A and B are shown apart, each in its own frame.
Chain A
Amino acid sequence: MPEKRVVLKNCGVIDPQDIASYLAADGFKALEKALKLHLKQVIDEVKASELRGRGGAGFPCGLKWEFASKAQGNEKYVICNADEGEVGTFKDRYILENDPFSLIEGIAIAGYAIGAKKAYIYLRAEYHFLLDLLQNAIAQAKKKGFLGHLDIEVREGAGAYVCGEESALMDSIEGKRGEVRYRPPFPPTSGLWGKPTIINNVETLTNIPRIILNGAEWFGKMGTEKSKGTKVFSVSGDVAKPGVYELVLGSPLRELVEKLAKAEKVKTVQIGGATGRIIPYAMIDASLSFESVLGAGAITVFDESRDIIDIVGKTMEFLAEESCGKCTPCREGTEVMVETMERLGRGEGLKKDIKVLEELAETMMLCSMCGLGQAAPIPVVDSLEHFRGEYENRIRQS
């Protein structure tokens, strides 16, 4: 059975308002266990689990923690990225809503492991309705004495997609305009206020208590060679049963789209939101893993009635709108792409448009300063690969 509830094991089981129900479900046992270990042992366990970041980039979590733990300085920070701005992603919301305690426990373990005394949860502005629930959960954990070593504060975002990017997020917490910073230095050496910082996605941190409690070996039994554990997906679009599903990594996309979400007559699936891959139905058996296609967990299904040029055009509009505007390739390039897609949409494409799009895409991917600009051309590149005919049909014949 590829569907498996590990991260979501408490969702719908415990009462998110009441810590007692969480404690009854082995809550905070992992933290208790971790606090008895040397912090190096905690990091080694996370490293051995080969857990990779669930926020999209897939960076090895344990390695990140190790960098931060070895970095000089007494003042260190943990940030939980709950900005969840990617189009079609709502899996972090589901976790926050149903099991805030597991996340808090994960943050508490992370804080212990790197030696941080302060943690922030950067909550997406649109998730304001979850603020009370989160603060209540933190207060209850504190009252029970689980947060003696770490103060957790919730910070609300400002409604910008780019603020989910780690460096812009840190600028935003510091009270600046949420803008991307160049790297290196990376956050584990110089992050929030220039101090060593780890930043992890909600789902990444929710995996931590499970790994500490059951061991890296147990975790490693799930998944593929380079993608261990499970992944939480949010499925939307042309499906009969949209929602949040958790699958063992490496499961086929078909399982999720057709079997669980009950999609029919699928034309294409966008995997990973606006900056995600666009794959044709012919590839529906692709494995959901870092080796193949994954992203942060957004799965948007489009059926045969949909127009590729329209899908890509709308995606580019979103990205151009959300570009922070700092670097040239993304600021100017996304706008060129929007206008080109509009022209194609009207059936007034120029002969050179396809070639120009391809050359521009290459430079944006190579030269943009952050993941937004680097990944922005992916929808264009993928759709040109799989649906080139639809572009060619929109070139003005004359």
Chain B
Amino acid sequence: MALLVTLNGTQVRGRPGQTILELAQENGVDIPTLCHHADLSPLGACRVCVVEVEGSRTLVGSCHTPIADGMVIHTHSPKVLESRRVIVELLLASHSGVCYMCDKANMCELRKIAAELDVGLPRFQVRKHYYPLEDVSPYIARDLTKCIMCRRCVRACNEVAKHDVFAIAYRGFDSKIVVDFDQPIDKEVCRDCGVCIPFCPTGALSQPRETKTEKKGKPLVVTS
């Protein structure tokens, strides 16, 4: 049974169980995402994928909301774009990473989305997330200063690597991805694993490099 949905003014067909994001992608509509990853279960945490669904009091997360017959969806209305901007601004306002000194600068999804949404210096004044660098493990380095709490690492560890290294601790602004009782990551199970590292959209997780290895520059992937 096909579902009829109006996507940005055009009638399109979708399948039951499909999310708004999947439908949009299938129809060539680009919605930004941060916490979502096609190989991981949906979470709905970052909220940059929000879209307007007519009749809904709030905007809805497209990465986890299934389509329904007769749904009327706007993925790029002024309300949506402004909200996405504020969300990315919020992430940047408390972010204390410095892009020009960041390993991931060339592929950072946060930076890419910020550029696409035209977000520059954030309006918001707020304290920064600051955590010491965790570079004790030879397999994985963590710089939570750059973490945006998308929890892709947590899900990649559980769902792909089938381990249980990460947990969420504390609440609100201070919530944090922790290992054991909030110790720097140095887990035997992480030996030769590194599954979570490429899942991290920012420079928070990386492969430790030997200090003297030369790193070859890559061109910026940031478009638009």
Contact = CB atoms under 8 A, between A and B. Distances in A.
A327 B91 contact: no
A336 B45 contact: no
Contacts of B171: 160, 162, 321-325
B126 A335 contact: yes
Nearest to A324: B171
Contacts of B79: 366
A363 B173 contact: no
Given A322-B172, A336-B93, A184 B44 contact: no
Contacts of A329: 47, 86-87, 90
Contacts of A339: 125-127
A321 B172 contact: yes
Interface stretch (B4-12, B57-65, B182-190, B212-220): B57-65
A362 B43 CA distance: 23
Nearest to B124: A336
A335 B45 contact: no
Given A336-B124, A367-B47, A360 B86 contact: yes
B46 A328 contact: yes
A368 B175 contact: no
A177 interface: yes
**Interface residue SS majority, chain B:** loop
Give the interface centre of B59, B61, B90, B123 by most chain A CB atoms within 10 Å: B90
Nearest to A365: B58
A367 B58 contact: yes
Nearest to A343: B125
A182 B173 contact: no
Interface string B31-60: 000000000001111111010000000110
Contact of A367 (B50, B126, B174): B50
B158 interface: no
B83 A332 contact: no
Nearest to A340: B125
A272 B168 CA distance: 30
Contacts of A363: 82-83, 86-87
A335 B128 CA distance: 11
A331 B173 contact: yes
A356 interface: yes
B202 interface: no
A366 B65 CA distance: 15
Contacts of A367: 47, 50, 58-59, 83, 87
B138 interface: no
Contacts of B47: 327-329, 367-369
A38 B109 CA distance: 56
A48 B167 CA distance: 46
B149 interface: yes
A179 B93 CA distance: 24
Contacts of A362: 82-83, 86
B108 to A, nearest CB: 16
B125 A366 contact: no
A391 B43 CA distance: 37
B124 A326 contact: no
Given A184-B65, A340-B125, A331 B86 contact: no
B75 interface: no
B133 to A, nearest CB: 22
A374 to B, nearest CB: 6
B91 A325 contact: no
B50 A326 contact: no
Given A328-B91, A335-B126, A363-B82, A369 B61 contact: yes
Instruction: Give chain A's interface residue range (CB within 8 Å of chain B).
Output: 35 or more
B21 to A, nearest CB: 13
Contact of A327 (B46, B82, B123, B174): B46
Contacts of B175: 324-326, 331
Contacts of A333: 90
Nearest to B175: A325
B170 interface: yes
Contacts of B206: none
A98 interface: no
A253 interface: no
A368 B171 CA distance: 16
B191 to A, nearest CB: 27
B83 A335 contact: no
A356 B173 contact: no
A192 interface: no
A264 B171 CA distance: 39
Nearest to A319: B172
B49 to A, nearest CB: 10
A356 B59 contact: no
A325 B61 contact: no
Contacts of A340: 125
B170 A336 contact: no
Contact of A336 (B50, B58, B126, B148): B126
Given A321-B171, A359-B86, A360-B90, 20 more contacts: A160-B171, A179-B168, A322-B171, A322-B172, A323-B173, A324-B172, A328-B87, A328-B90, A332-B94, A336-B125, A339-B125, A339-B127, A359-B82, A360-B86, A360-B124, A363-B86, A365-B58, A366-B58, A366-B59, A369-B44
8 nearest A-B pairs in the assembled complex, by CB-CB distance: A325-B175, A182-B44, A323-B172, A363-B86, A332-B90, A335-B173, A367-B47, A336-B124
20 contacts: A177-B168, A182-B44, A182-B64, A182-B65, A323-B172, A325-B168, A325-B171, A332-B91, A332-B126, A336-B124, A336-B126, A340-B125, A350-B125, A352-B123, A360-B86, A365-B58, A367-B47, A368-B58, A369-B45, A369-B61
